[in-house]
Homo-oligomer: A and B are copies of this chain.
Amino acid sequence: MLRMLTAGESHGKSLLAILDGFPAGMKVDTDAINVELKRRQGGYGRGGRMKLEVDEVDIQSGIWQGVTLGSPITLAVINRDYKLERLKDVERPRPGHGDLSGAMKYLGSVRAILERASARETAVRVAAGALAQQLLSLFGISVFGYVLELEKIKTTPSVGTYSELKAIRDASPMYTLDPVADKEIVARVDQATQDGDTLGGIIEVRVDGLPFGLGSHAQWDRKLDGLLAQAVMSIQAIKGVEIGLGFEAARRPGSMVHDPIHFDASRKFEPSLGYTRPTNNAGGLEAGMTNGQPLVVRAAKKPISTLRKPLDSISLKTKEPENAAYERSDVCALAAASVIVETVVALTVAQSFLEKFGNDSILEIQSRYTGYLELARQR
């Protein structure tokens, strides 16, 4: 079982994650983790703090001479902007944040809540997910996230190979696959900046190269669709999660939804074992298990809750009306969120992968992976 606990406050010393159960024997590419951390800090519409922080991972445990040991891996991202001890409490809770709900739950300060509820926590989730991607890539599994819609602007994703699409996405100011829509998107962000408003949108993540059999139908809390929904919905500002057709599946008759099953013997040695589906409306999951097709997850991100044009609030002391507090923030963090959703999906898929194939050593997992495909071909 691959377990993760994260820790750290937005303006504290550092963000940390301990990953327990990561297999021994994987060469770790620290630079590749930093690339994802940098992508998380980018995208059009970001504010000033992103310039203050240049996040880099510091691996404090679990590796020796660049290779995982099988012992818990500690990923740390140091806060260059560490100033928590100097910061004051906040008295005017900000709508959309946990300021009010948290202060009431913990009967304490708003500062206690906002420092931890902040999306800055996702820096280490991204680092952990980037590490998970390295594991998955050893087995030919790729996890790819991009922005699909910004507010009401729908993009038309380009079609192409993985590296072509990656190039397009990485050249896009909003991490989309649609250079044409990007212009409209940039203009909309500029407008919102001028208005003191914020913007959200929709993210899509696609996982290719998956074998059958991740997740399980046998118990409610082992279904991979449920695990993905939890992981994605637990990301700050996410308010909706879909798999495959998602809500659209509810709006079609069954004959237009379920994916026929064909067999193509020439593809028998692929992870799909030769089972092909002319459509992939299920998004790669049937009965909570991967079905050899690409996994497709979408997430809806609400606009950032901190608005320069402040919302109505109250003073927690006097209970009198006040403007909500304002802490430096972004206009649009959708591009960043696409990195977060991508890496969180990667981590969840890696957990399921290790659940199926074991988590002691890469050597053993590789032998089992090959062995499993062989047994499944003979099924």
Contacts and interface: CB of A to CB of B under 8 A. Distances in A.
A359 B219 CA distance: 13
Interface in A54-74: 60-62, 64-65, 69-74
Interface stretch (A163-171, A174-182, A316-324): A316-324
Contact of A254 (B116, B300, B304, B364): B304
A217 to B, nearest CB: 4
A201 B253 CA distance: 10
A309 interface: yes
A134 interface: no
Given A18-B18, A115-B69, A213-B360, A303 B85 contact: no
A93 interface: yes
Contact of A252 (B261, B275, B303): B303
A379 interface: yes
Contacts of A285: 101
Contact of A25 (B62, B107, B320, B357): B107
Contact of A151 (B152, B240, B252): B252
A13 B41 CA distance: 27
A141 interface: no
B212 A286 contact: no
A288 interface: yes
B9 A361 contact: no
B7 A60 contact: yes
A347 B115 CA distance: 26
Nearest to A272: B104
A290 B105 CA distance: 9
Given A254-B307, A255-B311, A302 B245 contact: yes
Contact of A300 (B4, B246, B259, B316): B246
A273 to B, nearest CB: 7
A5 interface: yes
A220 B115 contact: no
A98 B254 contact: no
Contacts of A367: 371, 375
A32 interface: no
Interface string A191-217: 010010111111000000000110011
A233 B240 contact: no
A95 B261 contact: yes
A192 B220 CA distance: 30
A21 B219 CA distance: 9
23 contacts: A12-B60, A16-B74, A24-B112, A70-B218, A96-B258, A96-B286, A101-B212, A101-B285, A102-B217, A104-B212, A104-B275, A106-B213, A107-B364, A117-B287, A200-B249, A229-B233, A246-B300, A247-B247, A254-B302, A263-B314, A263-B320, A316-B379, A364-B375
